[in-house]
Structure 1
Amino acid sequence: MKRIYSYFLVFFMISILTILFFYVQNINTEKVEIVKSEYALQIKQKDSFWIYEIYTNDNLFIRQEYIPAVKGKQVFKTEEDAKKIGKLVVSKLSQNLFPVISQKDLNSHNIYFEKI
């Protein structure tokens, strides 16, 4: 009987340590996301679709009305889709990368577009 309690105690301690580890990791990740960027993202509705605009020093830097990397003039159908790609572009710009979006990026962010 004492052996069962010992196993239970060990399992409980390992569980608590695992939860604490992931909690601390999550706090550190959130702090990284809070870092100020010189770029500001705005999502706007235009007619029946969504666009994103990226500003730097209160000046319009990028205005994206169509989904990048796809053929034709396909639009963002939801605000969430425009926000996902806008955030990706801001992230690339903040890392001093060229803000190129590929179809692989669109697929990994679950952005709907017609494959022509």
Structure 2
Amino acid sequence: MKELFKYPSLFIVIISGAILFSLFIQKSISKEDDVYTLKINEYVENQWYYEVYIGPKLIIKQEIIPGARGKQFFKSKEEARKIGVLVIDKLKSGIMPMISLNELKRYDITFKK
């Protein structure tokens, strides 16, 4: 724990960023007319990613599998869609849209451990 306070300015920047992101998300989801849209795109064959929009505004462009180690792409459009829908569900619930390894396993996402 002492090591964490060795760089107090870095700690403050990280905490401030998390708070600002949380406020941005809360402000975005508090409007009744906000509509989330999920768009699935393909880089090359068998490499997919998703984008999440609020109205016309892009808020998340997830080019790699979140929570997985290294730069790994979704292997199918369906896998990208599953996690994109999960992220939107979390945003609508006011939850930080982070994806865990357990969620990747639960949704049968193909990735290297």
Give the TM-score band, short-chain normalised: 0.5 to 0.7
Instruction: Report the TM-score when normalising by structure 2.
Output: 0.67
2:54 and 2:81 mapped to 1: Cα distance? 17
1:77 and 1:39 mapped to 2: Cα distance? 24
| Match in the other structure for 2:80 | 82
The offset of 1:70, in angstroms, is 1.1
2:43 and 2:58 mapped to 1: Cα distance? 17
Moved over 6 A (4+): none
Which has the greater radius of gyration? Answer: 1
The offset of 1:47, in angstroms, is 1.6
2:41 matches 1:41: no
Instruction: Report the TM-score when normalising by structure 1.
Output: 0.66
Deviation per CA, 1:45-91: give whole Å up to 9, x if none. Answer: 11221110000120110000100111110100100000000000000
Q: Identify if the C-alpha distance between structure 1 residues 106 and 37 changes in structure 2 by more than 3 Å, giving closer, same or farther.
A: farther
5+ residue gaps in structure 2? 1-32
Indicate the structure whose relative CO is greater, using CA pairs within 8 Å and at least 6 residues apart: 2
Q: Which protein has the bigger helix share?
A: 1
**Matched residue pairs, number?**
80
**Percent of aligned pairs sharing the same letter:** 43
Q: Identify if the C-alpha distance between structure 1 residues 78 and 37 changes in structure 2 by more than 3 Å, giving closer, same or farther.
A: farther
5+ residue gaps in structure 1? 1-35
Deviation per CA, 1:17-67: give whole Å up to 9, x if none. Answer: xxxxxxxxxxxxxxxxxxx96211011111221110000120110000100
- The answer to whether the Cα contact below 8 Å between 1:38 and 1:94 also exists between their aligned partners in 2 is no
The offset of 1:109, in angstroms, is 0.3
2:109 and 2:34 mapped to 1: Cα distance? 24
- The answer to whether the Cα contact below 8 Å between 2:34 and 2:54 also exists between their aligned partners in 1 is no
